[in-house]
Amino acid sequence: MSTVGRRAKKDPNFFNRLADHENTFTARTFDEVMRWCSDNWPAGKQMPFGLMRWMADTGHQPETLSL
């Protein structure tokens, strides 16, 4: 989780802090992390329903790599 936190938010302790229910985060941070997850989800692997729903609700289309 520290690697994902570092890559998504440049903060290796991001998800550890979220585990503490006294910590909060903004809607902007939520969208940034969801966008990063969407754009970096491994090809051929099933996305979690929550991520797919966020994409449908926001209209976000994952970035594709141009070769």
Distances (CA, A) of 51 to 10, 31, 33, 55, 59: 20, 10, 10, 6, 12
The pLDDT of residue 63: 79
- In which band, very low, low, confident or very high, does the pLDDT at 27 lie, cut at 50, 70 and 90? very high
The pLDDT of residue 64: 67
The pLDDT of residue 45: 94
The pLDDT of residue 67: 43
- In which band, very low, low, confident or very high, does the pLDDT at 54 lie, cut at 50, 70 and 90? very high
pTM above 0.75, yes or no: yes
The pLDDT of residue 42: 93
